[in-house]
Structure 1
Amino acid sequence: MFMGQAIWKRNNVRVLGEGRDTLIFAHGFGSEQGAWRHQVAAFQDRYRIVLFDHVGCGQSDFNAYSPHRYRSMHGYAEDLLELCEELDIRQSLFVGHSLSGMVGMLAALVEPERFRRLVFVKSTPRMRNDAESGYVGGFEQAEIDGMLDAMASNFYAWAGGFAPVAMGNPERPDLSQEFTRTLSAMRPDIALAIARIVFNYDHRADLPRLKVPTLILHAGEDVAVPDTVGEHMVRHIPRATLSTISASGHLPHLSAPEQVNRALGSFLSATA
C-alpha cells in the first residue's frame, strides 16, 4: 500500500480552494486533472478541491503502474480510497468523468462514509451492447476488438483519430487537440491495458448496491456513451437523479463548462 508522500507523487495530487466540504474531481481515460480547470475556477471559492491523475495518465508516476493492481477498476478504486485516507476525507462530494464514475462507485461500495454525494459525468457501467438483456452500451464486440487492434498496431495514430471523434464539437479544433495531447501522453502499453478493461468491464450488477445519492450527468451526441446508458443507470441506482444538459461530445466539462457547472452547482447546493 502506498502511503504518505508516495500517494501524492503516484497520483500527482493537488489540493486547493477554500471551504469546509471537499470536492474531488476524477478524470476519464486519456485525460488528466487539468480537464477540470473550468470547474475548479467555478467552485474553488466554496469548496476544498482535490485533483489527481490516475496512474498511467497525466503527470502520475508511470513507474507505479502494476498490471496486477490495475487489472480491473478495483485497483483505481483502491487508489482513491488510499487518497481519501491520506487526506482524511470523509463525506466528500465526488465528481467522476467516464471510467471514474465507476471508480467512485466501487470506492463508495467499500467505504461509503467517504462519500456524501457522487456525480457521474458521461459514465457507464458497460460499454458493450448486450443483446440478451436489451442493454445498449454503444459498442458491439467486433467494434471494440477493432479499436483495441488499432491501438496495439499504432497507438499514436489511433489516438489522433479517436480524440476528435470522442470530443465532438468539430468547430472547436482546440478541444480535439487538447484531448489528442493528453491521450498521446499515455504510455502505449498502459493505455492499451486500461482500454481493454474499460471497453470490456461490466458493473451493471453493482448499480443497485450503491446507496449514496448520485447525479447522472449526460449530454447528447456522444459516440462513446449513448443516452440509453444514463437511462439504465437511473433505473438501477436507488438514489439516482438523471440530468441531461445541452451539449455534445464525451467531455462536456471541457466543451460546455457553463452547463456542467450549473448542473453541478444545483445538485451540490441542494444536498449540502
Structure 2
Amino acid sequence: MNIDVLARNNVNVFGSGSQTIVFAHGFGCDQEMWRLMVPGFVDHYRIVLFDYVGSGQSRIGDYDAAKYNSLHGYAQDVLDVMETLELRDAIFVGHSVSSMIGMLASIRDPKFFDRIVMLGPSPRYMNDPPAYYGGFDKQDIDELLTMMQLNFVGWASYLAPIVMQNADRKELTEELERSFCSRDPHIARQFAEVTFRSDCRASLPQATVPSLILQCADDSISPFEVGDYLHARLQNSWLERMTARGHYPHLSHPEETTRLIKSYLARA
C-alpha cells in the first residue's frame, strides 16, 4: 500500500461490505461534506473518503500548479487512490466537478469503476451559444475569478448563499462559507479557474461506465439544461430530478440523496 498517496490525499477507509463506495468532494470543500451521507451506506459498503490536494487535511506541500492546471491532474489522483487501495468495480460518487473528474478517470481506467453517481454535474459551465447552455457567460466567470483574487473572503460570502439556495437554513450557508475560506486562496483560485473553464463535452462519448445523474432544483451551478444535455450524451446514464434545492443536496437533503442513490444501485 502506497502510504504517500494515502497521506497526500488524507484517505480514510472504513465500513463493511464486499463493494466500495468512493465519495469525492467538489470545489471549495473536503471529505467532511459527506458526513451526513456516510451513515446510510457504512453498514453495507466499504467507504473511502479523501481530500484533493489543497483541500481539507491533504498534504498541501504536494500541490503542483502544473499538474493541477487541468481536471486530468485530479483524475490521476483518483486513480492513484484506487490503485493504492487495490479497488475494483467501485461505486464513485462525485459532487459537482468531481463528477467529471470521476468520468475522466473511468475513461482512462474503467476497471476501477462499476457505477458513477454524478451529483450536480456539468461538462461545461460556460455557455457556448447557440448549441450549449451551461449557466454562465464568459463575463460571469471572469468576474468571479477576479473577485476571488481581489477579495477572497468577500467572494466566499457572496457565493455561498447563491449556490446553497436554502435561505431558511443559514447554518448551511455559514458552513459552506467557512469551507470556502479555509482554502489556500491561490490554490482555490486555480481550482476554480480549472473548474469553470473546463470543457468535458468531447469526452462524453468515450465514457462507458453506467452513471446516475442527480439534478437539483434551483441549482445555479448546474441548471436543468445541463442535466438533459449530459443524459442525452452519456451512454448507460439515468437522470433523476430531485426536490432538493441548490447545489449541495448531500448537506441540505441527505435523506433524499441517499434514497435516490440506493434506489439506483438496487436497480443496477
Q: How many aligned positions are there?
A: 268
Deviation at 1:255, TM superposition (A): 0.5
The residue that corresponds to 2:29 in the other structure is 31
Deviation at 1:206, TM superposition (A): 0.6
The residue that corresponds to 1:96 in the other structure is 94
1:248 aligns with 2:248: no
1:83 aligns with 2:92: no
| Gaps in structure 1 of 5+ consecutive residues | none
SS, match of residue 169 in structure 1: coil
Of the candidates 201, 205, 213, which is equivalent to residue 202 of structure 2? 205
Of the candidates 175, 179, 183, which is equivalent to residue 178 of structure 1? 175
The residue that corresponds to 1:14 in the other structure is 12
The residue that corresponds to 1:268 in the other structure is 265
- In the TM superposition, what are the counterparts of 1:1-272 in structure 2 within 5 Å? 4-133=2-131, 135-271=132-268
List structure 1 runs of 4+ shifted beyond 3 angstroms.
none
Q: Give the counterpart letter for 2:59 in structure 1.
A: D
Identical-pair percentage? 43
* Offset from partner CA, 1:175-220 (integer Å, 9 cap, x none): 0111111111110000111111111110011111111100000111
Query: For residues 270 and 45 of structure 1, what CA distance do their matches in structure 2 show?
Result: 19
Query: For residues 224 and 100 of structure 1, what CA distance do their matches in structure 2 show?
Result: 13
Query: For residues 32 and 167 of structure 1, what CA distance do their matches in structure 2 show?
Result: 16
Deviation at 1:223, TM superposition (A): 1.1
* Offset from partner CA, 1:22-60 (integer Å, 9 cap, x none): 000000000111111121010000000000011111111
Q: TM-score, normalised by structure 2?
A: 0.98
Query: For residues 39 and 235 of structure 2, what CA distance do their matches in structure 1 show?
Result: 32
Q: Give the counterpart letter for 2:188 in structure 1.
A: A
| Gaps in structure 2 of 5+ consecutive residues | none
Query: For residues 240 and 85 of structure 1, what CA distance do their matches in structure 2 show?
Result: 25
